[in-house]
């Protein structure tokens, strides 16, 4: 709980957390919050300006932009979160096994990871969508398949350092079972590391997944999605550039909040970073590793 | 160093072999039969079972998996990636020029990223915490949080529509490079800038800096030493920037109608043109492995300590 307290001290992080929580809740309760049906077409209201009934105006088919924005949270944020959870879960379990048991299991798993990581992640997801065909589910599958290896690798590194610690050795010596050691002693201490690794991937995943929808490879019409809304707005950008404003701002705000949160999470977990001189090298470790091509993004 | 190069090359070649295998295996993820796709793409009206079997035989798809794979691999090594399902043209005749165009855009953008991130990285590290540092970090942070398509659309709207200065799309003159390259540069500079800045900062507190100051060296000489040391991390990062950007131009290319890999690939995905998708993955993954090797070799040449790894 110290973690949350530390983060709460950072005003920006607190604000980011509030924004993200509010957006997630809005997405979950979209049917109750949205003023209109997001698919309801009304050609009389085509490009209508904002009014009290339609707070953000209407799009090229007269659909309520506000409602589409709220429903758009589902594919743009909630499903990304689900894809992230799936890849962290899958990669995490493998990383935990590899890092704790070591030996031949570890060697085999890490070679598989090496191969997966030698594909540029974006290209890999693009290829899988290409083979499976465009659509939300296929895009999710593509991202999980392309991302898990990175999480497995990072979580293994983190688990390895705890598996060597004295209290784990002691538990092994007095005959505590492996499952119990993993559940009671490894997972709780590795959890913060997992949180940092996954939060820093969250932002790039939101951008990439909405980019896929922007290109028409992800969510299919008529479902609302922020990237797709921007693509629709782009076709009329010469006459009505203001239509790009709402979905564009929504993405920028979410991504910025996630980025702030991820930085704050790193700082909160490493209180040394808050005090005195920052030690950026450690903070930047995962970022540098990513750019050296060890990442899937 | 010689032994290191040989070891590193062997690793890369074996990785390339596995990559080609996985790329070929991707085909089998498909929910549809490739032979059926070929017929659909060619617009054959009623597809019968006999017709599928015939197409399979003519494309060699009835052979055992490994035979198919080795046939495919040997022809790929001769840059023969088969024919497009949709247009029937050889894949390389479509992919080759596209690769060249994307490479041009990538090199221009990476040059921009390097200039921008090193320039600002050094200035901000030296003036850590003051207004300039904070504002540069803020602007680059916002730009990096923006999706490329939003940034691109805003730029087109402002520079091409409002000011009517630059072309909105296509690749006609050197002026067409400006907008797409600017979008990629601004979008990615933030990430690379952070690395330069933080590696500069971590060097600032090293003993040799203190020693240099104690000896009374001019600040400029000290800054140059710090820069040289902090660029060691940057060399490998920038090396990998080329293949990374090469694979990430998809969205920008589609917006600016750039006749490159990204546009080709998205069209192939929408048209389910497997041979092109496959060739695209293979070419980019190979570029990734080769540049990774290059960056390791460069790193080892600069820092003998790294040669012992492996």
Q: Which of B201, B248, B251 has the CB atom closest to A214's CB atom?
A: B251
Q: Tell me the residue range of the domain where B222 lies.
A: 102-271
- Is A264 part of the contact surface with chain B (CB cutoff 8 Å)? no
As a whole number of angstroms, the distance between CA A133 and CA A116 comes to 21
Is the residue at B68 inside a domain?
Answer: no
Per-residue tokens: A245: 């404003």
pLDDT for residue A144: 92
Q: Does B143 touch chain A (CB under 8 A)?
A: no
The DSSP line for chain B is -HHHHHHHHHHHHHHHHHHHHHHHHHGGG-SS-HHHHHHHHTT-SS--HHHHHHHHHHTTTTS-HHHHHHHHHHHHHTT---B-TTT-SBHHHHHHHHHHHHHHHHHHHHHHHHHHHHHHHHHHHHTTTSHHHHHHHHHHHHHHHS-HHHHHHHHIIIIIIIS--S-SSS--SHHHHHHHHHHHHHHHHHHHHHHHHHHHHHHHTSHHHHHHHHTT--HHHHHHHHHHHHHHHHHHHHHHHHHHHHHH-HHHHHHTT-SSHHHHHHHHHHTT-HHHHHHHHHHHHHHHHHHHHHHHHHHHHH-GGGGG--
- Position B282 in a domain: no
For chain A, say whether B237 makes contact (Cβ under 8 Å). Answer: yes
Confidence category of residue A291, pLDDT binned at 50, 70, 90: low
Distance of alpha carbon A5 from alpha carbon A14, whole angstroms: 10
The answer to whether B26 contacts A278, with C-beta atoms less than 8 Å apart, is no
Q: Is residue B301 part of a domain?
A: no
Q: Which tens digits make up the pLDDT trace of B229-253?
A: 888 778 888 888 888 888 888 889 9
Q: What letter would DSSP give residue A64? A: B
Question: Is the Cβ pair B243, A214 closer than 8 Å?
Answer: no
Q: With an 8 Å Cβ cutoff, are B248 and A122 in contact?
A: yes
Q: Reduce the DSSP state of residue A156 to 3 states and report it.
A: helix
Nearest C-alpha in A relative to B21: A115
Encode B63-120 in three state secondary structure: CCHHHHHHHHHHHHHCCCCCECCCCCCEHHHHHHHHHHHHHHHHHHHHHHHHHHHHHH
Residue B276 lies in a domain: no
Tell me how close the Cα of B110 comes to any Cα of chain A, in angstroms.
13
Task: Answer whether B147 sits within 8 Å of A210, measured CB to CB.
Answer: yes
- Give contacts of A 102-121 with B, CB under 8 A: 114-115, 118-120
Task: Indicate the DSSP class of residue A61.
Answer: T
Q: Which of B145, B195, B285 comes nearest A288 by C-beta?
A: B195
Q: Which of A293, A295, A296 is the best residue to mutate to test the B interface, defined by the most B CB atoms within 10 Å of its own CB?
A: A293
Name every chain B residue with its beta carbon within 8 A of the beta carbon of A238.
Answer: 161
Model pLDDT for residues B25-82, shown as the tens digit of each residue:
887 777 777 777 777 767 677 777 777 777 777 777 777 778 888 888 888 888 888 8
Which residue has tokens 């119990």?
A180
Q: What percent of chain A has pLDDT over 90?
A: 16
Closest CA to A297 of A225, A214, A207: A207
Contact A211 B148 (CB under 8 A): yes
Instruction: Delineate the domains of chain A, giving CATH numbers in brackets.
Output: 42-71 (no CATH), 74-255 (1.10.3720.10)
Q: Which of B142, B148, B153 sits opposite A237 (nearest CB)?
A: B153
- Listed in sequence order, the residues at least 6 apart from B122 whose beta carbon sits closer than 8 Å to its beta carbon are B196, B200, B223, B227
CATH code where residue B267 lies: 1.10.3720.10
Secondary structure of residue A56 in the 3-state scheme: coil
| ipTM field | 0.83
In this structure, the dihedral spanned by the alpha carbons of residues B7, B13, B15 and B16, taken in order and rounded to 10 degrees, is 160
Give which of B297, B262, B309 is closest to B95, Cα–Cα.
B262
Please tell me the total count of domains within chain B. 1
pLDDT tens profile A50-97: 777 777 777 777 788 888 888 989 888 999 999 999 999 999 999 999
Asked whether the beta carbons of residue A123 and residue B285 sit closer than 8 angstroms, the reply is yes
Contact between B153 and B165 (Cβ < 8 Å) = no
**pLDDT tens across B103-156, in order?**
999 999 999 999 999 999 888 988 888 899 889 988 998 888 888 888 888 888
Cross-chain Cβ contact A216/B248 below 8 Å = no
Given an 8 Å threshold on Cβ–Cβ distance, is B281 in contact with A127? yes
Cα separation of B100 and B106, whole Å? 10
């Amino acid at each position: 709980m110290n973690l949350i307290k530390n983060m709460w001290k950072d005003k920006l992080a607190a604000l980011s957390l509030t924004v993200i929580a509010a957006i997630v809740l809005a997405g979950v309760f979209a049917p109750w919050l949205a003023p209109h049906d997001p698919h309801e077409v009304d050609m009389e209201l085509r490009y209508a300006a904002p009014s009290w009934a339609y707070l953000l105006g209407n799009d090229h088919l007269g659909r309520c932009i506000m409602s589409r924005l709220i429903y758009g949270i589902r594919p743009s944020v909630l499903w990304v979160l689900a894809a992230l959870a799936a890849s962290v879960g899958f990669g995490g379990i493998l990383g935990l096994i590899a890092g704790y048991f070591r030996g031949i299991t570890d060697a085999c798993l890490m070679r598989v990871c090496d191969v997966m990581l030698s594909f540029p992640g974006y290209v890999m997801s693009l290829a899988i969508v290409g083979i499976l065909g465009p659509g939300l589910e296929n895009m999710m599958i593509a991202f999980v398949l392309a991302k898990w290896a990175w999480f497995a690798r990072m979580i293994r590194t983190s688990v390895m350092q705890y598996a060597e610690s004295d209290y784990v050795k002691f538990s092994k010596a007095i005959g505590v079972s492996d499952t119990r050691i993993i559940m009671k002693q490894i997972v709780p201490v590795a959890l913060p590391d997992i949180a940092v690794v996954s939060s820093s991937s969250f932002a790039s995943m939101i951008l990439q997944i909405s980019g896929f929808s922007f290109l028409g490879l992800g969510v299919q019409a008529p479902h609302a999605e922020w990237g797709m809304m921007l693509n629709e707005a782009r076709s009329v950008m010469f006459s009505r550039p203001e239509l790009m404003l709402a979905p564009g701002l929504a993405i920028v705000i979410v991504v910025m909040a996630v980025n702030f949160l991820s930085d704050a999470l790193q700082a909160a977990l490493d209180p040394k970073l808050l005090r005195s001189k920052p030690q950026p090298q450690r903070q930047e470790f995962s970022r540098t590793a990513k750019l050296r091509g060890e990442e899937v993004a | 160093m010689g032994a290191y190069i040989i070891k590193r090359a062997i690793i890369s070649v074996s990785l390339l072999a596995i990559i080609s295998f996985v790329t070929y295996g991707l085909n089998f993820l498909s929910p549809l039969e490739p032979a059926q796709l070929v017929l659909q793409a060619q617009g054959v009206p009623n597809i019968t079972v006999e017709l599928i079997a015939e197409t399979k035989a003519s494309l060699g798809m009835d052979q055992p998996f490994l035979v198919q794979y080795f046939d495919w691999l040997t022809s790929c090594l001769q840059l023969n990636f088969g024919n497009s399902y949709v247009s029937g043209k050889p894949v390389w005749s479509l992919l080759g020029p596209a690769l060249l165009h994307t490479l041009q855009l990538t090199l221009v953008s990476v040059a921009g990223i390097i200039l921008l991130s090193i320039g600002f990285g050094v200035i901000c590290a030296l003036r850590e915490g003051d207004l300039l540092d904070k504002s540069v970090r803020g602007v680059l942070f916002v730009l990096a949080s923006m999706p490329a398509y939003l940034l691109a659309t805003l730029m087109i709207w402002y520079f091409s529509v409002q000011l009517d200065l630059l072309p909105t799309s296509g690749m006609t003159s050197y002026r067409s490079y400006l907008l797409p390259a600017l979008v990629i540069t601004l979008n990615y500079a933030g990430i690379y800038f952070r690395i330069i800045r933080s590696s500069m900062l971590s060097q600032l507190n090293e003993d040799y800096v203190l020693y240099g100051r104690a000896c009374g060296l001019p600040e400029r000489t000290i800054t140059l030493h710090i820069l040289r040391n902090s660029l060691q991390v940057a060399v490998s990062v920038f090396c990998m920037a080329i293949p990374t950007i090469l694979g990430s131009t998809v969205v920008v290319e589609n917006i600016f109608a750039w006749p490159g890999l990204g546009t080709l690939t998205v069209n192939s995905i929408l048209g389910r043109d497997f041979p092109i998708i496959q060739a695209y993955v293979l070419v980019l993954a190979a570029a990734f492995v080769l540049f990774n090797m290059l960056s390791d070799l460069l790193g080892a040449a600069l820092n003998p300590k790294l040669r012992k790894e492996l």
